[in-house]
Amino acid sequence: MSVPNSPAFWNRLANREVPEGELIPERWELCQYPGVGPGAEILGDIGGRRVLELGCGDGSNLLALARQGAECVGVDFAGDQLNRAKQRPGAEDILWVERDAADFLIDQPDESWDFIVSIFGALEFSDPFRILPQVRRALKPDGALVFATADSHWLWQRDLVPELVDSELLWPTRTITGLAAWTAILHEQRMQVVWNRGVGPSEQISAHIIWAERGGRPPLSQVLDDIPRGRGETTVAPC
Ligand SMILES: C[S@@+](CC[C@H](N)C(=O)[O-])C[C@H]1O[C@@H](n2cnc3c(N)ncnc32)[C@H](O)[C@@H]1O
């Protein structure tokens, strides 16, 4: 069954009880759970770099990057998520935009962002044929799209655990999941995966962190090479 994506679901999620401490940003996590994904070190020195987060939610990740001197913009179509972000210390250093991520990108000048990031965010829930051409166009020539995407088999298990969300709420359907599908679609959109890291699998998470850059299509043989190396460090390190 396909469940449509809408701000209503994410607003409801934003207003749930949050465990104490969850609002404190400690470091940029390319994962939703502290200490699980790689941190901001993979981006290198981000002082003065322009970073756009698609589906920034409550802003914890972006705030950590802004503290390191990046010029940050967070886009999310769920106003209640952004309200939580705006209450955090340091929130005034970031521009928060309540808007659909693809619509926002369409208005961005060519080659204007160093990093476009999305941590289980809007990228996974958007039409890839609409959003990826805009991501590619808006990235600087040496810029990168860095994002986290959940693995399908883990999502399937997770959706069976009703206490994670109100039982009457169903998670919106992600449009693309998994390294292989993302690698193929990025290739189709003239972007290439230059690095990826598998996170998990564990009961808590099974996901991939993907670093993709603009560029012509790599030879198909390279794409096919990338796919079986789904877990662990792979290909060319970006920094
Ligand atoms: C799973 S949450 C992740 C939030 C944040 N990146 C984090 O790691 O905590 C997904 C976020 O993406 C936002 N989102 C989903 N689809 C979107 C879209 N099409 N445009 C803008 N935001 C979207 C939701 O409102 C939600 O805040």
pLDDT digits (tens, 9 = 90+) for 173-216: 889 988 999 999 999 999 999 999 988 777 777 889 999 999 86
Q: Is the residue at 2 inside a domain?
A: no
Ligand 1 lining (C-beta closer than 6 Å): 5, 10, 32, 55-57, 60-61, 75-78, 81, 100-101, 119-122, 125-126
Interval between CA 52 and ligand 1 midpoint (Å): 13
Interval between CA 159 and ligand 1 midpoint (Å): 17
DSSP, residue by residue, 107-170: TSPTT-EEEEEEESSHHHHS-HHHHHHHHHHHEEEEEEEEEEEE-HHHHHHHTT-GGGS-TT--
pLDDT digits (tens, 9 = 90+) for 161-172: 444 555 567 788
Q: Is the residue at 24 inside a domain?
A: no
Q: Is the residue at 130 inside a domain?
A: yes
Q: Is the residue at 34 inside a domain?
A: no
Q: Is the residue at 101 inside a domain?
A: yes
Question: Total domain count for the chain?
Answer: 1
Q: Is the residue at 238 inside a domain?
A: no
Instruction: Provide the domain limits for residue 204.
Output: 7-15+44-229
Q: Is the residue at 124 inside a domain?
A: yes
Smallest CA separation from ligand 1 atom 15, residue? 122
Mean pLDDT of 113-126: 96
Coil, helix or strand at residue 51: strand
The CATH number of residue 148's host domain is 3.40.50.150
pLDDT digits (tens, 9 = 90+) for 4-46: 899 998 898 888 766 555 555 556 777 766 677 788 888 999 9
Q: Is the residue at 21 inside a domain?
A: no
